[in-house]
Structure 1
Amino acid sequence: MSIKLSFAKMLALAIAGCATMATSPSFAASVAVLAFTNSVILTSEAMIERTEVDAGGRESTALKQPKDVIVVPGDRVIFTLRYVNKGAEPATGFRATNPMPGPVQFVSVAEDWAEVSVDGGATWGKLANLKVAVKGAEGNVDTLRQAVAEDVTHVRWIFTSAIPPGAEGSVSYRGLIK
């Protein structure tokens, strides 16, 4: 029972406060809804992806809210950030940064223009282009190795075009419960 509660609690915390908007230093957050001074509003949602088998033996994929299932290690999670520009002006320079929640390992991002970080947000790029420092016996960096999905600490989307007034959309990434 404690495992079920701890994973559910960690996932709820991950959903509630995982997105930030980098072009605005001040923001108000309330349970998975973030509003920013430039009038772009983000809402964050996590869904658990389950494979179900019907009476005929056919498999299908279903998305479940975390509150409706027992979340366990190995579950696949889809995080979706929905955005809408509620302002009267286009939102320029918009970027959304999502730290990887502690109980979740990065798997993939839906948008090919998204970037990831493997060092807490200090550097960004495509996972295939990032390296991770490997420390030797004395704690010094001895070598660099190719970064892998388990190393991802943040996901970031930089919108190259302005978001027009009233425009809305979404970005997403997949994770795996550790």
Structure 2
Amino acid sequence: MKANWIASFIGMTAFAACALTTPALAVANPQPVELIGDVKVEKVVVENGKETRSWIKPQVVVPGDRLTFSTQYRNTSTDKVDNFVVTNPIPAGVMLAPDGAATFDVSVDGGKTWGKLGALQVADGKGGQRAALHSDVTHVRWTLPVLNPGTTGTLTYNAIVR
């Protein structure tokens, strides 16, 4: 049951990210940069001793599954956009993968403060502080310095189902 809930949540998260960029909404509230979110689950198949990895749309996920969340961006305006910030919350059912956080800033307090993971601290439950862990991350963020008209790209982070 937990696996189905997580898959539904992930599907809703990806749908919500995509829904925000529909043409009907774009007419009502034109934005210079279009964002489209997606999520894939890694599947590993071992056949004749050879390991093959593929990334597919999640139907059902279970604790330990590795996910890749991606956000495609495109400057749809005729103007240059400076210092465009893309912020993604980490869904409650997953944690940032141990190999994540090298190329973007993270928050461990719901998006109030930002920095590299190694520089952040959280309460240790005993009145002190400890170094923040991947499992403490609540949000990820990228700052794109310059987006010229028509510029496209994809931002990704990996997560593990809790």
For normalisation by structure 2, the TM-score amounts to 0.87
5+ residue gaps in structure 2?
none
Deviations 1:3-24 (A, max 9, x none): 34212211112323369xxxxx
Counterpart CA distance in 2 for 1:18 and 1:111 is: 23
Give the equivalent residue in structure 2 for 1:3: 2
For the residue of structure 1 that corresponds to 2:81, the secondary structure is coil
* Cα distance, 1:93 vs structure 2: 2.3
Q: Does 1:63 align with 2:55?
A: yes
Matched ranges for 1:88-99 at <5 A: 88-99=78-89
In structure 2, how many angstroms separate the alpha carbons of the residues matched to 1:177 and 1:13?
16
8 Å CA contact retained: 2:42, 2:53: yes
CA distance in 1, matches of 2:151, 2:17: 22
Q: Does the 8 Å contact 1:105/1:175 carry over to 2?
A: yes
- Could you tell me which runs of 5 or more consecutive residues in structure 1 were left unpaired when the two chains were aligned: 20-27, 137-141
RMSD, matched Cα: 2.2
> Which amino acid in 2 is paired with 1:151?
D
Normalized per residue, which structure has more helix? 2
- Residue of structure 2 equivalent to 1:149: 134
Percent of pairs with identical residues? 34
TM-score of the pair, normalised by structure 1: 0.80
Inter-partner Cα distance in structure 1 for 2:147 and 2:115 = 23
The answer to whether the 8 Å contact 1:76/1:175 transfers is yes
Residue 166 (structure 1) aligns with: 150
Structure 1 range deviating more: 80-89 or 102-111: 102-111
Q: 1:117 to 1:18 in 2, by over 3 A?
A: farther
For 1:49, give the aligned amino acid.
E
